[in-house]
Amino acid sequence: MKIESVDAKIFHHKTNQSRDSDGHAHPGPAIDATSALLVISCDDGTTGNLIARPGDVEDSLLDQFVRPLLLGQDPMRPEAIWNSLYKWQRGSAGKLTDRVLCAVDLTLWDLIGKACGQPVWKLLGGYRDKIVAYGSTMCGDDLKGGLATPEDYAQFAEWMVKERGYRAIKLHGWMPPIPGAPDVRKDHLACAAVREAVGPDVPLMLDPNHWYSRADSLWLCQRLEELNFHWIEEMMEEASLSSYQWLTSRTPRINILGPESMTGKHWTRAEWAANGACDMLRTGVWDVGGISPALKTAKLAECFHMSCEIHGTGAGNMAVAAAIPNTTYYERGLLHPFINYEEPRAHQNRIDDEMDSEGFVHFRNEPGLGQDLNLDYIENNLD
């Protein structure tokens, strides 16, 4: 079995989400957008598919780096292929990003699952067949009836728990360029309002502004300790390992989780674990370059008796969360009162992460990553 082609099909669709000037997603009017379907095909007709951002699978990147390394190779050797891409990163003048590695790795794993007739989560270890989801809100905004006030967060949290069945919630606070952000005091008011709304027993987490000072971070952590929050993540620039050591040593009653967006894949995460910079490790397939390095992060966390909480949504992150024993939740979102998260996108027959009324996301038994794609829609809406 040999890889015969690697192609990205760019297709059009509508979206009702837009990104602000700092890259945070918010609800908006329906606008035109494009996405990509990355397809790796083998000489026996087996294919792997993945929905990706067009910029991560541009034809020039596939031509320069991916096709030379993949064509003619055995797809059942993802570790060898991942390492060959990784080795080329340093000399690629920044073009071969971790997101490119991730797109290739996920597509390969989808292909491997299909070739074996097995879901990827089982091939990776198959620790669990369902997981509790936490409802992860969008960042705060200034939309009337949206996530503009602490009361808005409280009302939405009440709906999540009482109407939709979520068993845990994570707030993303107000971040620039939203007027008045960042403000630890306002973050605290939203967290207090949510705690009041859902009662003492629902696990709560916070992802606030990404660049608070040490002093503001400590103040916020101490308030969240009083509110019995389970974890806080990425409140400071993650390149500053010693700031996280400083904070972790001063906050015994809340878990510091990280690093999320810091570069360096599983190697950075090993340094955080070894140097006491967090209580729980963080990894996500799009942050570290795919399933292969995300699994390594989880396994190194296990060796330190630490949990490894998976960042982000989608089939690749689900496969990792299902495979490992040392994780607690699946991050489901981003959620907002104006967005119907349950509705499949135009290119999907079903969303990846359907959740039951008890707050569990179940892992599918179909071969591959478990994405149920509407390939006809994609073919009929090509760029």
Name the site residues for ligand LLH (rule: CB under 6 A): 24, 136, 139, 172, 207, 260, 311-312, 331
- What does 135 bind: Mg ion, ligand LLH, none (CB cut-off 5 to 8 Å by kind)? none
Is 48 or 208 the residue whose CB approaches ligand LLH more closely?
208
Which helix (H) or strand (E) segment holds residue 99: the answer is helix 98-116
Using Cβ positions, the residue closest to Mg ion within the complex turns out to be 207
Binders of Mg ion in range 244-263 (CB under 5 A): 260
CA dist., res. 135 & res. 283, Å (int):
18
C-alpha neighbours within 13 Å on the C-beta side of residue 79:
3
Closest separation between CB of residue 3 and ligand LLH, Å? 31
- What does 359 bind: ligand LLH, Mg ion, none (CB cut-off 5 to 8 Å by kind)? none
Closest separation between CB of residue 168 and ligand LLH, Å? 13
Beta strands in the chain (DSSP E): 3-19, 25-42, 47-52, 130-137, 168-172, 204-207, 231-233, 255-258, 280-283, 308-310, 329-335, 348-350, 360-362, 372-373
Is 81 or 139 the residue whose CB approaches ligand LLH more closely?
139
Query: CA nearest 315: which of 38, 161, 23, 109?
Result: 109
Q: Which residues contact 347 (CB under 8 A, 6 or more apart)?
A: 11, 13, 35, 37, 51, 373, 374, 377, 378
Is 175 or 323 the residue whose CB approaches ligand LLH more closely?
175
Is 11 or 244 the residue whose CB approaches ligand LLH more closely?
244
- What does 217 bind: ligand LLH, Mg ion, none (CB cut-off 5 to 8 Å by kind)? none
- What does 152 bind: Mg ion, ligand LLH, none (CB cut-off 5 to 8 Å by kind)? none
- What does 139 bind: Mg ion, ligand LLH, none (CB cut-off 5 to 8 Å by kind)? ligand LLH
- What does 24 bind: ligand LLH, Mg ion, none (CB cut-off 5 to 8 Å by kind)? ligand LLH
- Contact status, residue 81 vs residue 16, Cβ threshold 8 Å: no
Residue 306 C-alpha from the chain's centroid: 19
CA dist., res. 177 & res. 180, Å (int):
8
3-state helix, strand, coil in the chain (%, to 5): 35, 25, 40
Is 110 or 260 the residue whose CB approaches Mg ion more closely?
260
Count residues contacting Mg ion (CB under 5 A)? 2
Is 171 or 355 the residue whose CB approaches Mg ion more closely?
171
Closest separation between CB of residue 371 and Mg ion, Å? 23
Is 110 or 207 the residue whose CB approaches ligand LLH more closely?
207
Binders of Mg ion in range 178-217 (CB under 5 A): 207
CA dist., res. 252 & res. 246, Å (int):
12
Is 207 or 352 the residue whose CB approaches Mg ion more closely?
207
Closest separation between CB of residue 124 and ligand LLH, Å? 22
- Contact status, residue 247 vs residue 275, Cβ threshold 8 Å: no
Closest separation between CB of residue 379 and ligand LLH, Å? 30
Closest separation between CB of residue 139 and ligand LLH, Å? 5
Using Cβ positions, the residue closest to ligand LLH within the complex turns out to be 24
- Contact status, residue 232 vs residue 254, Cβ threshold 8 Å: yes
- What does 312 bind: ligand LLH, Mg ion, none (CB cut-off 5 to 8 Å by kind)? ligand LLH
C-alpha distances in Å from residue 306, one per residue of 101, 202, 234, 328, 376:
26, 22, 18, 11, 44
Q: Return residues touching Mg ion (CB under 5 A).
A: 207, 260
